[in-house]
Amino acid sequence: MSGLSLVLSGAACLWAQNVCAQDERPTKQEVAEIIHRVNRYWQTNNPSHGNFFWNRAVYHIGNVDAYKATGDCGYLDFSTAWSELNLWKGAKSDDKSKWKYTYGESDEYVLFGDCQVCFQVYSDLYKVIPEDVRIARMREVMEYQITTPVVDYWWWVDGLFMAMPIMTRLYSITGNEQLLEKMHEYWEYSNSIMYDYDEDLYYRDARYVYPEHQTYSGKKDFWARGDGWIFAAFARVLADLPKDDAYREEYITFYKDMAKSLAKSQQSEGYWTRSILDPDYAPGYETSGTALFAFGYLWGINNGILDESEYGETARRAWKYLSETALHENGRVGYIQPIGDKADPNQTIGENSTADFGVGAYLMATSEMLKYAQGEMPLLDLRITSLKRTDEGQIYVTFNDTLDAQTASDISCYTIDDKPMTGSVEFDGVRSVVLTPDFQLTGGKHIFAASGIKGDNGQIAGEGCTGTIIYTIDLTPCNPDVTVKAIGNQEGNTPENTIDNNLDTRWSQAGLNQWIRYDLGEVRNVRAVDVAFYLGSQRKSYFDIMLSVDGKEYTTVLAGCESCGTTDQLERFSFDVQPARYVMLNCNGNSQGGDNWNSITELRVSWENEMLDMIKVPGEVYTHIVLPEQDGKGRPISWKSSAPEILSADGLVNNHEIPIEVVLTADCADEHKEYNVTVMPRYPEKCVVASYEFEADDVYDAGHEERCLVDRSGKGRDARIMGQAVIDGKLNLTANTPDGFWTNGYLILPQGLLDSLRSYTVVAVVNPSSLDVQPRLYDFGSSSGNSVFLRLSECAAGMKYNAGTTTLVMSSEQPQIGRDQLMAVTYDAVTHQTCVYIDGKLTASENTIVNEPRSLTFISPDSRNYVGRSQWWDSNVARDNLDFCGTIDDFKIFSIALTEKEIGDMYNGTVGINDVDGMTDGSIALENTVVSKGEPLRLSAVGLSSVPCRVSVFSMQGTLVSESNVQSLPCSIEQSLPSGCYVVSVAAEGTGIVASQKFIVK
C-alpha cells in the first residue's frame, strides 16, 4: 500500500470518528430543555434566596451560567435578587483585625473562601450592569488579603474553587497584577499539602493524605467532589487568565494531568464514585462530583485545551449519567452527596438526595454541554419570572425576555383565576408591566396568566406563561371551641402552639405521613384552611387536607398541597364548602429534604360565619349587653333586632313581665348569622356583678403575702386586700390616716370589672369616721383622668373620661359620720340618668354623665378599681383626696340601674340587701325545668306557703297557653303541652311578688 493511501485512510478514519462523535452529541434543543427544567424546578421550590454562604453561592454560579447560555433574564433576576438580599457581601465584619480564614460561618470569617465564593456571582453580575456597589466589598476584601504575608488561605481543596476564580475575575476588571501573583502563591501552598504527584489528584486536605489516611482496602482516598472543585476551578481560572500570564501553562499542565487521571476512574455508567480510586469504599451514584468533572471536561473541549477525540467520550458518558440517571422527570436532581468533607462509606445517597450546590454544579455542566451540543439554539419560551402585589392592589409582572409593546400593553392578554383581567396596564418598555385591577382580590392563592403577548424575538406567550400570587391572611385569635391533637411532636414544639396566636412558636414532627388534627367542637361548613409554616419564606411544605364529620371516616379535599415558600404568614388553601367537625393535615416534609420536618406555626380553619361564630351572645339576658362593633379581623358588624323595642340593635334591654324571644342578626363582610336571645323579666339578683360581705371566713391567703376576699356573687371577682385593711364582718378602714399612703387599707377589684358594664348600681352600707378632703367610697378605672367614682364629702357621683372635664352629680344631702347608712349610685345607659341615694332617699338625679362605665376601658384597661381609695391619692400630696376612713359593709355592684322603689325596699328591709343572691324568704322557684309531656310542674317557695297564687304558662312568643289558681305552695301543676320551650309565671296575691321561669317540654 502506498504512503498516500495510508494518509488518506488515516484522514478518513479521523473524519469518521468526528462524524460519529458529532452524531453522539445531544441537540441544543434537548440540552436547553433540561437547563430550563432543572433550574425552574429549583427556583419554584426554593423561591427564597438564602444567605451568601458557599452552598447557595455555588447554585448561583450555575444559575448565572444558565443565564449566559440561554439568555433567560429570569435567571439573571433571580441571582440579582439574591445578591441584593446579601448586600453584595459575604461575611460582613468591618474590623479587619478580627478577620479570619479558618472554618467559620459568622461575620468575622471574611477571609475564609466559603464566605468569598459569592464574589464570583457578584463579579459576573457586575459585567452585566457595571455598578460599583456590586464589587465594592469584593475589592475591599481581596485587595486587603493580597497585602498580607499569609499564603495558607486555601488549606482545603474546596477553597481552590471558592477563591481562585475570584482573583482572575477581579483582575479582569481592575488589571491588578498582584492578584495573579498571590493566586499562584496560594495555589503553590495548596499543592504542597494536598497534591499527589503520582496520581495527579488532590486530597481533600492534609488530614486525608496517604498513608496516614486510606480506604478500608488500603488505597488512597481522593474525594470526588473535592477533586471536582479544583478541576472546575482550573477551567474557571483559565477562562479569565490572560494568554500571556507567566503561570498559565503550569495551570494547564495540572489541568490536563488531572483530566487524564480522572478519565481512567470514570465508571461505565458515566459517574465517578465518591472515593475516586476505590469504587468499593463508598459505592454508588454521586452527582455533584460528576457534574463538576463534566463541566471541567466540556469547558476544556469547547475552548480547545482538552482534545475532543481523547475526552469527548468521557464527557458524553458523564452527560448520559447526568441527563438520564440523576435527573427526575420533574427537574429534580438526585444522588447529590450532602454537605461534607469526605467520601463517607456510612452515608446513604438516594435518588431524592438533592442540594443547592449540587444543582449549581449540574447547571454549570449543562450550560457547557449546550455549547458542545449540535443543532440550532431553540427560541426562548416566554414566561413570567416575577409576580408581586402591593398594598394598593397593583400587580407587578416581570417576564424573562423583552416584550413587544403593543401586546404587552393589551389588558385582554391577561387573566386571573381563568377570568379576564379588567382595569389598566402600564408597560415599562422592556420586560415588566404594572396591572391595576378594578376589583379586589381576596386572601389565598390566585393564578395569573398571560397569553398572546409577543417577545422581542418573535416568541408568543402560551399556556405555560403563568404565575401564582399569594394574598396572605391576617392572623386573628383562634376560635376557643377549636382543639388540636397530633401523631406526635418534637420536644417542646407541641400541637397547641399552632392555635396560640403566636407565629414564633410551632408544632414540629419529622417524617412522612405525619398528621395533625383540629376538632372544631361541632360540625361546621368548612371552606378553607389557613396555614403558616416555620421557615415558610425559605422552603415549601407538602401536605394533604382531609375532612371528617365523625373523626373516623376522612375525605381528602386537597391532595398534594404545597406552600408557596415565600412567606411566614398564613396562606389560604380553599375548597368547596362541605360539613366537617374534624380537619386533618397529613404532612409530608418540605423542599429542603433532610429529615422531612413538618413545622406549622399557626393554623386556622375557615368556615361559614367563622368570625361571627366567635362572638358569644347570651341566650338569656336580664340587662343590657355589649354587641361588638367589629369582628376579629377589624371588619364592621351591622346588627339588627327582630324586636328593637325589647332588645335594640345596640344591645339595650327593655324587660317585660314575661320572657320574650328576640332574634339578633349580624352581618359582617360575607358572613351572616342569627342569634336567638330570650329577654327575661327584670331580676336584679341575676344582674349582680360582684358582692362582698366581709365575713372573716371570706378571707384567704393567695400566696406571695397577698390576702384576698371572696366575691359572694359567684362571678369570681375576688378582691385584693391592701395595706392594713381589716375584715371583721365589715371592711374596717378606721386605721387609715391622712399620711398613710403606704399603709392605709383599701380593696382592689379585678381588672375587667368595667369591660361590659353599661347600666350599673353600686350599693353599700357606709359608716364614715371622717369626711375630710373628699374621700371616695369607690373609684373604678385606670387613672385619675379616667374613672367613675362616688365622693363622700361634698357628696357626688362623678366621671372623668379620657383626662377631660370631671362631670359631677351633686347630692342634696351628705352622709353622716359615726353611723351606718345605705349609700347607692345608679346609672341608666338608656336615659343617661345618674342617681344618688342615701338611706333609700333620692338625693341627686342628673343626666349629665353620658359615657357608660365600659367606655373608660376604651382608653385604658381598668387596672385600678379601688374601694376605699381615690385615684387621686399621691404620695407627694399628703392631704389631697384622702383614703376613706370608717367601715364599709355589704358592697355590691349590679349591671342594672335599680329603681327608686328597689333602693327604697332595700333600705326599708322589704327586700334585704342580701336577698338578691338567690333563694331567699319571699321567693318562688320551678324545681323541674325540663319535663316530659304530661309530667306535672313542681313549684316551691320560701316564706309564701299559705299565700294563694295565680300560675300562668306562656309560649316563647308571649301567647297565654294556660292559667290556673293554687291555694298554696309548694304545688304541682298538670300540663299536656307539646314539646317546646315555655315560660311559667307565678303571681303571689297581695305581695307584689311575680316570678317567671323558662322550662322545656321534651
The confidence band for 24, taking pLDDT boundaries of 50, 70 and 90, is: confident
For residue 72, what pLDDT is reported?
Answer: 95
Q: What is the CATH number of domain 35-372?
A: 1.50.10.10
Q: Is 68 exposed, middle or buried (0-12, 13-18, 19+ CB in 10 A)?
A: middle
pLDDT of 919 strictly over 50: no
The confidence band for 956, taking pLDDT boundaries of 50, 70 and 90, is: low
For 114-137, the three-class secondary structure string (H helix, E strand, C coil) is: HHCCHHHHHHHHHHHCCCCHHHHH
DSSP symbols for 285-297: --HHHHHHHHHHH
Residue type, 273: T
pLDDT of 20 strictly over 90: no
For residue 892, what pLDDT is reported?
Answer: 98
Strand, helix or coil at 59? helix
Distance of CA 766 to the CA centre of its chain: 54
> How far is the C-alpha of 750 from the C-alpha of 862, rounded, in Å?
8
pLDDT of 516 strictly over 70: yes
Name which of 363, 443, 500, 442 is nearest 70 in CA terms.
363
Please give the average per-residue pLDDT across 808-817, as a whole number.
Answer: 96
Fill in the DSSP letter of residue 214. Answer: -
- 539: its cell numbers: 422552603
> How far is the C-alpha of 563 from the C-alpha of 541, rounded, in Å?
5
In whole angstroms, how far apart are CA 12 and each of 4, 17, 313, 427?
A: 12, 9, 19, 58
> How far is the C-alpha of 422 from the C-alpha of 424, rounded, in Å?
7
For residue 959, what pLDDT is reported?
Answer: 77
pLDDT tens digits along 736-768: 988 888 899 999 999 999 999 999 999 999 999
483-608 has which fold? Jelly Rolls (2.60.120)
Q: At a CB cut-off of 8 Å and minimum separation 6, what does 94 contact? A: none
Residue ranges of domains in the chain? 35-372, 384-471, 483-608, 620-682, 685-917, 923-1001
In whole angstroms, how far apart are CA 756 and each of 93, 297, 686?
A: 56, 79, 15
Beta carbons of 620 and 998 less than 8 angstroms apart: yes
Q: Which CATH number fits domain 685-917: 3.40.190.150, 3.40.462.20, 3.30.460.80, 2.60.120.200?
A: 2.60.120.200
For residue 954, what pLDDT is reported?
Answer: 84
With cell 368570625, the residue in question is: 611
For residue 241, what pLDDT is reported?
Answer: 98
The confidence band for 961, taking pLDDT boundaries of 50, 70 and 90, is: confident
Please give the average per-residue pLDDT across 855-861, as a whole number.
Answer: 96
Is the fold of 384-471 the same as that of 620-682?
yes
| Residue predicted with more confidence, 704 or 751 | 751
pLDDT of 920 strictly over 50: no
Name which of 923, 920, 918 is nearest 993 in CA terms.
923
- 782: its cell numbers: 385606670
pLDDT tens digits along 583-611: 999 999 998 777 899 999 999 999 998 88
pLDDT of 621 strictly over 90: yes
> How far is the C-alpha of 461 from the C-alpha of 454, rounded, in Å?
6
Q: Pick the range with the lowest mean pLDDT from 186-190, 446-450, 844-848.
A: 446-450
Please give the average per-residue pLDDT across 106-135, as a whole number.
Answer: 97
pLDDT of 875 strictly over 50: no
For residue 230, what pLDDT is reported?
Answer: 99
Please give the average per-residue pLDDT across 394-404, as a whole number.
Answer: 93
> How far is the C-alpha of 475 from the C-alpha of 435, rounded, in Å?
27
Please give the average per-residue pLDDT across 99-105, as a whole number.
Answer: 95
Fill in the DSSP letter of residue 930. Answer: E
The confidence band for 923, taking pLDDT boundaries of 50, 70 and 90, is: low
State whether CATH 2.60.40.1930 applies to domain 923-1001. Answer: yes
pLDDT of 5 strictly over 50: no
For residue 336, what pLDDT is reported?
Answer: 97
- 879: its cell numbers: 392631704
Q: How confident is the prediction for the chain on average, in pLDDT?
A: 92
For residue 11, what pLDDT is reported?
Answer: 45
What residues are paired with 547 via a beta bridge? 555, 583
With cell 320574650, the residue in question is: 660
Is-catalytic flag, 158? yes
pLDDT tens digits along 230-275: 999 999 999 999 999 999 999 999 999 999 999 999 999 999 999 9
> How far is the C-alpha of 446 from the C-alpha of 793, rounded, in Å?
68
| pTM of the predicted protein model | 0.64
With cell 344582674, the residue in question is: 687
pLDDT of 995 strictly over 50: yes
| Residue predicted with more confidence, 586 or 445 | 586
With cell 374596717, the residue in question is: 732
Q: What is the CATH number of domain 384-471?
A: 2.60.40.1220
pLDDT of 309 strictly over 80: yes
Beta carbons of 524 and 555 less than 8 angstroms apart: no
Phi, psi angle pair for 623, to nearest 5°: -150, 180
Sheet with 980-988, edge to edge strand ranges: 930-931, 993-1001, 980-988, 949-955, 960-966
pLDDT tens digits along 58-69: 999 999 999 999
Q: Is 581 exposed, middle or buried (0-12, 13-18, 19+ CB in 10 A)?
A: middle
> How far is the C-alpha of 788 from the C-alpha of 849, rounded, in Å?
10
Buried b (16+ CB within 10 A) or exposed e, 846-864: beebebbbbbbbeeeebeb
For residue 946, what pLDDT is reported?
Answer: 75
Beta carbons of 969 and 945 less than 8 angstroms apart: yes
Question: Long-range contacts made by residues 104-108, C-beta under 8 angstroms, separation at least 24?
Answer: 105/53
pLDDT tens digits along 816-840: 999 999 999 999 999 999 999 999 9
Q: What is the CATH number of domain 620-682?
A: 2.60.40.1080
> How far is the C-alpha of 886 from the C-alpha of 731, rounded, in Å?
8
pLDDT of 48 strictly over 80: no
pLDDT tens digits along 762-802: 999 999 999 887 799 999 999 999 999 999 989 999 999 99
For residue 915, what pLDDT is reported?
Answer: 42
> How far is the C-alpha of 760 from the C-alpha of 892, rounded, in Å?
10
For residue 922, what pLDDT is reported?
Answer: 53
Sheet with 620-621, edge to edge strand ranges: 620-621, 671-679, 660-668, 638-641
Q: Is 505 exposed, middle or buried (0-12, 13-18, 19+ CB in 10 A)?
A: middle
Angle in degrees, CA 836, 841, 843, rounded to 5: 40
The confidence band for 393, taking pLDDT boundaries of 50, 70 and 90, is: confident
Strand, helix or coil at 454? strand
Sequence length of the chain is: 1002
Q: At a CB cut-off of 8 Å and minimum separation 6, what does 563 contact? A: 531, 533, 536, 540, 541, 571
Say which of 65, 114, 158, 404 is annotated catalytic: 158
For residue 191, what pLDDT is reported?
Answer: 98
Express as a percent the part of the chain with pLDDT over 70: 94
